Structures are given as structure tokens and as C-alpha cells.
Amino acid sequence: MADRSISKQTLIDWLGDGAELAVLDIRPAEAVGYASPLFATNLPADRLDAELDRFVPRRVVRTVLVDDGTGAAQAAVTRLTTAGWTNIHALEGGIPAWIEGGVETLPTFDIAGVPFVTKVRDEKGTPVVSATELQALRDKGEDVIVLDSRTLPEYSKEHVPGAVSVPGAELLLRFKDLVPSPTTKVLVSCAGLPRAILGAQTLIDAGVPNFVAYLDDGTKGWTNAGLTLETGRTAAYGEASDDAKRFAADHIETLSKDDSLTFIDRATADSWVGNTNRTTYFLDVRTPEEFAAEHLPRSISSEGGQLLGVAYRTIAVRGSRVILVDDLLGVRAKTVAHWLRRRGYEIAILLHDFADVRLSAVA
């Protein structure tokens, strides 16, 4: 079998040519941490054979596997070529070769989350409150609520005491139930910056009446201030009330008024997903529980809040189309589309009348 390894320069060229390309960091998740130096999708080698089809739906797409320099990528390429992957390659030397000499001038697979959101923050002037300022507000008895925009498992592991779990794409949909008073100060938190800034700016751009800010450095900032985090599922969002749905329906129009969103029907979605010449991701942005109860065939559960901050963890093919599936309200899909389009993704939205949500609820 011919050698399927490529040089660092070849990958640099491929990252800049605009054609479809998948880059997967196959090191263990604990070695990769929050993000690969390439900001590539992390799919550990022990899951690669079973799950690669999910991340790279078309086996003809140029796919590059990147390891820790031990040769695991080349071994995987040999196996996967035999299994039908016709355009799969290993990066020579893996991550050690990629980062040699520094990464400051190197391209990345995706836009790094922190630079993107800090640019949003700087352009928009997103308000910020520090951990010590939050503690002072609480000590004075101020009406303030902390909304944790991470996933429920992340929240349950540790969070700012008293915070309520509301993943980023759910913030606007659940807002009215959790924050009934327009005078309540609202702070959006995460583990650091990206999801908190985007969550806070989403609410601000949607025109909610409250003062909204992000909690500086989230849980990290809280512990750095010498304060103790809370654990467990202490407070989480519930099913959205009719009032909350009406509020969200009104305010999502404010958020997305300049977005020129593309809406497609079921037949178009099926055609795109079945197209052998173009990669399409069919992502259901509702909660994992809603997806488990009912979902469209061939769709993948991809919680919207995660797509906001770390899209590369799901969308492994650069240059692909992305269909966002939501209920008829469309609040979560429109929220995700609002930010992903600014990051260069080609987005379409499919709204479906799932049994648990009816458009008449906001009539």
C-alpha cells in the first residue's frame, strides 16, 4: 500500500485552499485538553474506527489524522483505507512536528474560540462583572442571578454557588421563566470566557430588558478569587412555559433581524444529506433529552450551546454545509446560526413540528 503520510507544508496548503477537508486529532482526550493546537476535532484513536463515519460522513473527503508522533495515525490510515476511506492521510510527525517552531503563524482548522469571542466583546462592549464584584452584590442583597451556559454535566461537576444551569442555546428560550423581573441583574457564566461572552451578548442583542453581563473567567475566576465552587445538579432549567415561549419568540426576531437566515424543508434536507458530492451535517440543536424522545432520521444530537463555543468538536469537515434542526419556535437554531454564520459556516435551518412543541403555544 502506498504511503499516505503528508508533510506539515502540505497540510498548511490544504488548510488554505478552500476545498473540503477534515482534520482529526486522534490523541486521547486528556492529552488534547480544551483544544488541539490545530483547533481540530478530537476523535481518540480507540474510537476512530467506530465513529469516524459520524464525523466525516463522506469517505471520499480529504481526511488528515494527527497523532502524538508515535505512528498511530499511519497505522489507522492503513486500516481505514482497507475499510473504504479513499482519501485519508497521516500528518508526518504528528502534533510535535506541527508545533515545532511555534504555532503563532500557522493556520488552524477552525477559528479559535477565545479570539473570536474577545473580538465580539471588544466590538460590542459586552459588560463584565468579576467574582469579587458578584460576591459584593450578593452581600448587599442585590437581586442578581447567575446563569451557567455550559452543558448540564459540566455544571454538575462544579459551578458558582447559586448558579442555574442553562446551556447557551437555551438562554433566550428559558429566560422569562428564570428571570421574571426586568430589574434582576443577570450574569452569564461558563468555565472561562467563550460561552459566557456569547451567552451574555445573545441576551443583550435580543433586547432583554435586564442588565446583562458575563462573569469574568467564570468558574476559573471564582476560584482564583479564593472562593469555593458548588457541585451537583442544584438548579437547572425546566420546560419552557407559554409565557417564556412568547417572550423568546419576540426577542429572537430582534436578535436575528439582520441575519438573512436560510430555511429549508424536509425534502431539501434529505436531498442535501444524500448528496454524494458535498458534505452536509444534519444537527439537532435541541436538548439531548428532547432528541432522545423524538428526532428526525439521520439527524445527530448536537446541543446548540456547544456549537456556539466549540463547533469544531462536531463539524469535522471544513467547507461543509450545516443544517440546524429545531422545533417550530426555532429559537435555538436561530441563536446558533446568528453566531456560526459570523464564523464562516454555511448554515440552513429546518424547523420541524415535534410532538412536544407546538407553534400554537406562542399564538
Q: What is the DSSP string of 245-302?
A: HHHHHHHHHHHTTTS---B--HHHHHHHHH-TTS-EEEEE-S-HHHHHH---TT-EE-
Provide the grid cell at 231. 457541585
Angle of the 194-205 helix axis to the 113-124 helix axis, nearest 10? 40
Enter the DSSP assignment of 235: -
The verdict on domain 266-362 having CATH code 3.40.250.10 is yes
**pLDDT, position 344:** 86
Judging by DSSP bridges, how do beta strands 317-318 and 21-25 pair with one another? Answer: antiparallel
Q: Which CATH class is domain 114-239?
A: alpha beta
Please give the model's pTM, rounded to 2 decimal places.
Answer: 0.89
**pLDDT, position 278:** 95
**pLDDT, position 111:** 65
- Quote the CA–CA distance of 105 and 299 in Å, as a whole number: 37
**With contact defined as beta carbons under 8 Å apart, do 322 and 281 qualify?**
yes
Asked if the domains 114-239 and 266-362 are classified in one and the same CATH topology, the answer is yes
**pLDDT, position 109:** 85
Q: Mark the ranges of the chain whose per-residue pLDDT is less than 50.
A: 1, 356-363
Enter the DSSP assignment of 67: -
Residues with Cβ within 8 Å of 119's Cβ and at least 6 positions away in sequence, in order, are none
- Quote the CA–CA distance of 204 and 130 in Å, as a whole number: 18
**pLDDT, position 188:** 98
Chain segment 220-250, per-residue pLDDT in tens: 999 999 999 999 999 999 999 999 999 999 9
Q: Please give the span between the terminal C-alpha atoms of the chain, in angstroms, as a whole number.
A: 63
Distances (CA, A) of 230 to 39, 161, 163, 219, 223: 30, 5, 9, 10, 11
Chain segment 125-162, per-residue pLDDT in tens: 999 999 999 999 999 999 999 999 999 999 999 999 99
The residue type of 207 is G
Domain extent listing, the chain: 5-109, 114-239, 266-362
Fold held by 5-109:
Oxidized Rhodanese; domain 1 (3.40.250)
**pLDDT, position 352:** 97
Q: Is 319 left (phi over 0), alpha (psi -120 to 50) or beta?
A: left
Q: Residue 310: count other Cβ atoms within 10 Å of its Cβ.
A: 19
Judging by DSSP bridges, how do beta strands 300-301 and 280-284 pair with one another? Answer: parallel
- Quote the CA–CA distance of 359 and 54 in Å, as a whole number: 31
**pLDDT, position 112:** 61
Q: Residue 92: count other Cβ atoms within 10 Å of its Cβ.
A: 18
